[in-house]
């Protein structure tokens, strides 16, 4: 198995050549997990959201993907890329191992029905991800009560083409790690929506953004492995630096 060191910028841009690694017709059976999480972020005055409100700050954080727990997941993306179609290079931490995982934002948009006002986006996993599936984040406001929530809906399974040791580890610890991640996401976004940062402290170099906030780029070894399932070189392991 070969190792190939890639600069982060190159690793992000190469995601453009990868496709979503599952088909919606495959989403059936007990091997897929379906989750719904709802986290209360705070309360605003009734009516549509206004700039500076809890909903507005939460919306800005979700748009930047700046609310993930740094100890579990970091993300890199091109600074000027439009949100729809944006590729994210995720670096997930599992015990002492880091895994590179590519996802693409495939849906965004506002929704208002007279009762709720919401905005959000969804990403889907790309070739090389240890999972297959989709995650949807939506910041929702109840127009009558003013209650602001984050709703996270997802479906996923461990990638059948992942290494057997990865599949074994995921079967033992994966679901626990997922729920821990989403709890941390809700806690982080609640804090950021109620006590927003005064300045944009996202880190990164040149045209690549690194999130979440507070990540000291270069202070910690940045390495990760991912067994690719792409058609070009399915047996290659990439290490990003």
For residue 177, what pLDDT band results from cuts at 50, 70 and 90? Answer: confident
Backbone angles phi, psi at 16, to 5 degrees: -60, -30
Is the per-residue pLDDT at 211 higher than 60?
Answer: yes
Residues 102, 240 contacting (CB under 8 angstroms):
no
Residues 94, 104 contacting (CB under 8 angstroms):
no
Query: Which of 177 and 116 is assigned the larger pLDDT?
Result: 116
Give the CATH number, domain containing residue 83: 3.30.530.20
User: Can you give the pLDDT at residue 232?
Assistant: 39
Region of poorest pLDDT, from 3-7, 142-146, 183-187, 232-236: 232-236
Sign of torsion, CA 160 163 165 170? negative
Q: What is the pLDDT of residues 64-104, one digit of tens each?
A: 999 999 888 999 999 999 999 999 999 887 666 778 899 99
Average pLDDT of the segment spanning 1-20 = 77
User: Can you give the pLDDT at residue 219?
Assistant: 43
Q: What is the pLDDT of residues 15-62, one digit of tens each?
A: 999 999 999 999 987 889 999 999 999 999 999 999 999 999 999 999
Angle between helices 175-194 and 54-64 (to 10 degrees): 130
User: Can you give the pLDDT at residue 1?
Assistant: 29
For residue 9, what pLDDT band results from cuts at 50, 70 and 90? Answer: confident
User: Can you give the pLDDT at residue 168?
Assistant: 77
Q: Which residue has the tokens 């941390």?
A: 184
Query: Which of 218 and 149 is assigned the larger pLDDT?
Result: 149
Average pLDDT of the segment spanning 163-190 = 84
User: Can you give the pLDDT at residue 198?
Assistant: 54
- Give the whole-number percent of the chain exceeding pLDDT 70: 80
User: Can you give the pLDDT at residue 227?
Assistant: 42
User: Can you give the pLDDT at residue 204?
Assistant: 62
User: Can you give the pLDDT at residue 6?
Assistant: 61
Sign of torsion, CA 178 43 146 63? negative
Q: What is the pLDDT of residues 104-114, one digit of tens each?
A: 999 999 999 99
Average pLDDT of the segment spanning 140-152 = 98
Q: What is the pLDDT of residues 149-163, one digit of tens each?
A: 999 999 999 888 877
**Domain residues for 11?**
3-23+31-240
Query: Which of 222 and 135 is assigned the larger pLDDT?
Result: 135
* Domains contained in the chain, number: 1
């Amino acid at each position: 198995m070969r190792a190939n060191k890639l600069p982060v910028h190159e690793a992000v841009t190469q995601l453009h050549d990868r496709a979503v690694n599952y088909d919606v017709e495959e989403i059936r059976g007990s091997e897929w997990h379906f989750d719904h999480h709802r986290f209360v972020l705070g309360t605003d005055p009734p009516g549509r959201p206004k700039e500076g409100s809890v909903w507005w700050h939460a919306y800005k954080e979700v748009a930047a993907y700046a609310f993930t727990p740094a100890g579990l997941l970091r993300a890199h993306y091109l600074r000027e890329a439009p949100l729809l179609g944006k590729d994210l290079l995720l670096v997930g931490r599992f015990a002492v191992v880091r895994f590179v995982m590519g996802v693409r934002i495939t849906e965004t948009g506002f929704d208002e029905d007279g009762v709720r006002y919401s905005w959000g986006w969804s990403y889907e996993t790309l070739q090389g991800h240890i999972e297959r599936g989709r995650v949807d984040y939506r910041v929702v406001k109840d127009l009558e009560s003013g209650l602001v929530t984050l709703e996270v809906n997802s479906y996923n399974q461990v990638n059948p083409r992942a290494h057997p040791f990865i599949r074994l580890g995921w079967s033992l610890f994966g679901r626990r790690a997922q729920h821990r991640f989403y709890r941390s996401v809700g806690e982080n976004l609640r804090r950021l929506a109620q006590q927003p940062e005064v300045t944009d402290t996202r880190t990164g170099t040149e045209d690549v953004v690194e999130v979440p906030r507070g990540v000291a780029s270069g202070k910690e070894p940045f390495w990760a492995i991912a067994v690719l399932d792409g058609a070009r070189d399915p047996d290659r392991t990439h290490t990003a630096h």
